Structure 1
Amino acid sequence: MAENGHFFVRRPQLVLVVDRALKGQTLSVTLAQPDGDWVILGTRSVSTGKPGRKEHFKTPVGVLLNDGSELGYRAQGTYNENHIRGLGVKGMRVWDFGWQTSDDWRTPGATMQVRVEMHATDPAVLAARLGRADSEGCIRLPEAVNRFLDRHGIIDADIEKLGETDNGYRALLSPYLTPTALAGVAVIVVDTSEPWAKPYPPATTLSLSG
């Protein structure tokens, strides 16, 4: 999937591998190495897109880069009309991967542009549903995982670099940031229940820190 997305690992770095498999959806913090096997360091349940309802689409497979082309933001902790905090409690990080191409379940063979983000979810209402397809197309994280990824800059290598000269990027980073030297830039979405699934073009581009 990394090769299909033109993402080539030139230095050891952490990559988030999200499996959208129907019978158990996970995020694995993975050490990607240019010469050698990739090593899974830890795995937690997440949720990805569940097609079949209005504005609900399958999260596309492929490489999602946190390269600064979309800044991302932080949750306000506000409730929607169903009294649900869709992005989690106030201050939770939202990683924005921009518009991506996914299957349009309403028309066989058709595709759809969907906005893909990665964020926490309501701890009181939706957290118990993690591990199965449940979102509109975004990747939903447990609150503890959101905090861990944010505090250690797991996929923030490019954001940190941009933040050296740009206050907007610097402000996005956690005030408690203790960055890892293995910070990477990528989320790779796979589907072990549909190993034939391929990403749609256009392919992703190389990042500053790839």
Structure 2
Amino acid sequence: MIKSLILILFLYKMGIANTVNIEQLQAKFNQEVIELNAFTKRYGSYLRKNCNDNLSCYKKTINTLKSWETVQNDIKLNSILHKKNTLLKPDNEYWNSIVNKLKTKKIQLNNTQFVSIIDLEKQLYIVTLWDEQTQQFQYIGNDLISSGNIYREKEVRFGEDHYLKTPAGVFRSKQGWRSDGRKSDDNITLGYGYKDRFVFYFGKQDTIRYNTFDKNKNKIYDKEKWQLITDQLNFAVHSHKSSRPMGQPNSHGCIRMTDELNRFLDNNAILHKNILDGNRWLHKYAKEPNNLKYYHLAGEYLIVFDKI
């Protein structure tokens, strides 16, 4: 007993006893992001009717559904799950490329914390954990996003919001806000996702877009005459629901993500370091997540690469 206690104290001092269970985090990501997204696509109406946006209820109901033979043999559901797992599973070569890219950024990380990465080419949001003891990044999970599409500027009428390039670089989260859940004019699109989804804000950033209007404010339809110009984007990462799919650039420049990924980032303090004091929520104008976990690992960095 005494030897065991001495060993525990030794490990604690060495930092090993506090090592995060990566497999547990990966399983949590898979359940709450990948699996929940697939079941929502297939049984969304049933889940929302029975659970009223309660995550614990969603998970419990999905576990029940998985026990049903009809669900187990659901070809469409299995196809969605297979597609997501195949598409999103990183190989060693890709992960090593990510790690090498991260080393070039030389970010000052003083404690174990979450670090978020975006690959604009592959349209992926990648959640990692930087371990202070091992000085290594650990892979948690990834999901499809939708970034800025500057070519959609052709759709813009004078006075409407422009389509800008999503900026690449290292960004630190600022004080965001929660979505009011308001629908767009089509009565379908939820620009910032369901009510109370968190909008992660990274400040005003320099970027580029096409100018598709002449000096008389007339639309230029000849693409050869478009000019790339500099502009600024109020850069945010947020939930989004519309007919346009994830995995393709479609946004005005911000990062759109699935509802499930947004809730995972919010509930697990992936980008909440600047609004937490230990486990105390500091944001005066946005309520605390219902089920906040891993606040001791809270992150603040979002690193966006044009290509990995």
Is residue 137 of structure 2 the alignment partner of residue 38 of structure 1?
A: yes
Structure 2 residue 259 is matched with structure 1 residue 143: yes
Matches within 5 A, 1:36-185: 36-52=135-151, 53=153, 54=156, 55-66=162-173, 68=174, 71-83=175-187, 84-106=189-211, 107-108=227-228, 110-122=229-241, 125-126=243-244, 129-161=245-277, 164=280, 166=282, 168=284, 171-185=286-300
Q: 1:40 to 1:174 in 2, by over 3 A?
A: same
Task: Return closer, same or farther for 1:167/1:79 CA change in 2, 3 Å cut-off.
Answer: closer
Are the counterparts in 2 of residues 49 and 136 from structure 1 also a CA contact under 8 Å?
A: yes
CA distance 1:6–1:102, change in 2 (3 Å): farther
Q: Which amino acid aligns with 1:191?
A: D
Could you tell me how far apart the structure 2 residues matched to 1:162 and 1:43 are? 26
Q: 1:176 to 1:135 in 2, by over 3 A?
A: same
Structure number having the greater helix percentage: 2
Shift of 1:162: 9.1
Distance 1:58 1:11, change over 3 A: same
Structure 1 160/166 Cα, relative in aligned 2: closer, same or farther at 3 Å? closer
Amino acid aligned to 2:142? T
1:172 Cα deviation from its structure 2 partner: 3.7
Q: Report SS of the residue matched to 1:181.
A: helix
TM-score by length of 1: 0.77
Q: Secondary structure at the match of 1:100?
A: strand
Q: Bigger radius of gyration, 1 or 2? A: 2
For the Cα contact (< 8 Å) 2:120–2:147, is it kept in 1?
A: yes
Cα deviation, residue 142, structure 1? 0.7
Deviations 1:61-84, CA, capped at 9 Å, x for gaps = 011211x4xx21111111111221
Q: CA RMSD in A?
A: 2.5
Matched, 1:188 2:303: yes
| Alpha-carbon distance, 1:179 to partner | 3.1
User: Structure 1 residues 113, 5: closer, same or farther in 2, change over 3 A?
Assistant: farther
Cα distance between partner residues in 2 of 1:105 and 1:59: 13
Any idea what the Cα deviations from partners look like across 1:95-151, whole Å, max 9, x if unmatched?
11121011233334x3211111111111x524xx10111100111111111111111
SS for the counterpart of 2:235 is: strand
1:9 aligns with 2:113: no
Q: Distance in 2 between matches of 1:155 and 1:5?
A: 18
Give 5+ residue unaligned stretches, structure 2: 1-100, 157-161, 212-226
Show structure 1 runs of 5+ residues with no match: 196-210
The residue type equivalent to 2:275 in the other structure is: I
Relative contact order higher in (CA < 8 Å, ≥ 6 apart): 1
Identity over aligned pairs, percent: 27
TM-score, normalised relative to structure 2: 0.54
2:270 and 2:177 map into 1 onto residues whose CA distance is: 16
For 2:54, the equivalent position in structure 1 comes to none
CA contact (8 A) 2:119 2:306 kept: yes
Shift of 1:91: 1.4
Q: Which amino acid aligns with 1:14?
A: F
Flag the 1:167–1:180 CA change in 2: closer, same or farther, 3 A: closer
Aligned residue pair count: 183
